Amino acid sequence: MRQAGRHFLQIPGPSAVPDRILRAIDMPVVDHRGPGFAELGHRVLSGMQTIFKTTQPVIIYPASGTGAWEAALVNTMCAGDKLLMVETGHFAFLWQKLAIKLGLEPQLIETDWRRGADPALIEQALKADKEHRIKAVCVVHNETSTGATSKIGTVRAAIDSAKHPALLMVDTISGLASADFRFDEWGVDVAVSGSQKGLMLPPGLSFNAVSEKALVANKQATLPNSYWQWQDMIEANQRGYFPYTPATNLLFGLAEAIDMLHEEGLENVFARHIRHAAATRAAVSAWGLEVQCLEETECSPVLTAVRVPDGCDADHLRSTILAHCNMSLGNGLSKVQGKVFRIGHLGDHSDVMLLGTLAGIEMGLHIAAVPHAIGGTQAALDHLKSTPRAQSKAA
């Protein structure tokens, strides 16, 4: 049966694509080797540097985020190289599995999937690695399976304090353009991102930002790679072109997304996400439910993972909400399947979209008979009313 009204896609990526970006993508395909293309190429390549906050090269792949994960490793590593990876949740776990398939040797720092990476444990592991066999520290900036962030600046400080030469690799696939990310200032060596989360685009583009130090590692790396090769990309990119066919129409959308982010002002975008996350947590707490992330200062501005009471099935709640409210919420992944549902409040997202989302959840909690207190939506509204939107000017 037809459901009236727009579908609420409230999963933490892909996020809803704003009409302005859909219109920008809706163009005839152009010749990616033609004379006019370089202008678009330069525009998105330099634009992405402003989003990563870097003067270093940004590589754009026609691939999902997973491709850029692989690119980060195959461009810098040799077979058998050791990595230090923090398992903050399902996505960190998947990156580790990918590394093993490539013939690398991850050393894991485990967590309870309810917090970010602990810099003290990273420092300890690096200090113990006297022979400097660890070639990279890999951390997920915004762990999309748990709604916990890691403080990347403090991870850099831990590596420096251990006086260890390992590269710092950061998955900011769901962090970039929603949560503050500072590639140069935080001394990140390789950042990995994707198009379908904070960048408000459909899936299909992914990114590597690469430091000088990563480019040096690239010269010594021997893992086989061809499609992912940074040097081929960087060479063609200097002229505004790509070594193979780029996802042309997504690049039209990317140029529009970069403009939109700067029109609002990146810092305003980050503040909006933080405010929506805080309002969401106010709702969860009023419902008497529990947020998956245990550390207040690590709670994600991008999404909130909510635990359902013991004996309840989060997936049943989600399917109830989909059927009754035409709204998709994120599922619990692997270890937390059925135990949590995830509310995405990222990308092109407004106060009224958030309130609609929370009202839909409150309705779903009632219909699915999940024990809860009423008033979560009201608590979020109160939070939004008491913290009016920042009026600061866009950069």
Q: How far is the CB of 140 from ligand PLP (least distance, A)?
A: 5
Q: Helix, strand, coil % (nearest 5) of the chain?
A: 40, 15, 40
Nearer to ligand PLP, 176 or 321 (CB): 176
CA distance 394 to 127: 43
Nearer to ligand PLP, 18 or 67 (CB): 67
Site residues, ligand PLP (CB under 6 A): 13, 64-66, 91, 140, 144, 171, 173-174, 194, 203
Q: How far is the CB of 91 from ligand PLP (least distance, A)?
A: 4
DSSP per-residue codes, 212-279: HHHHHHHHH--S--STT-HHHHHHHHTTT--SS---HHHHHHHHHHHHHHHHH-HHHHHHHHHHHHHH
| Ramachandran angles phi, psi of 129, nearest 5° | -90, 70
Q: How far is the CB of 195 from ligand PLP (least distance, A)?
A: 8
Q: How far is the CB of 133 from ligand PLP (least distance, A)?
A: 26
Nearer to ligand PLP, 24 or 148 (CB): 148
Nearer to ligand PLP, 342 or 383 (CB): 342
Q: How far is the CB of 64 from ligand PLP (least distance, A)?
A: 3
CA distance 23 to 27: 8
Amino acid symbol at 136: A
Q: How far is the CB of 376 from ligand PLP (least distance, A)?
A: 25
Which position's Cβ is nearest ligand PLP?
65
Quickly tell me which residue has 């990918």 as its tokens: 98
Q: How far is the CB of 363 from ligand PLP (least distance, A)?
A: 27
Nearer to ligand PLP, 66 or 124 (CB): 66
Cβ neighbors of 111 (< 8 A, separation 6 or more) are 86, 87, 88, 89, 117, 118
CA distance 350 to 296: 23
Residue in 15, 381, 43, 56 with CA at minimum distance from that of residue 215: 56
CA distance 199 to 347: 7
Nearer to ligand PLP, 90 or 372 (CB): 90
Instruction: Kindly state the tokens that stand for 162.
Output: 């251990």
Nearer to ligand PLP, 138 or 380 (CB): 138
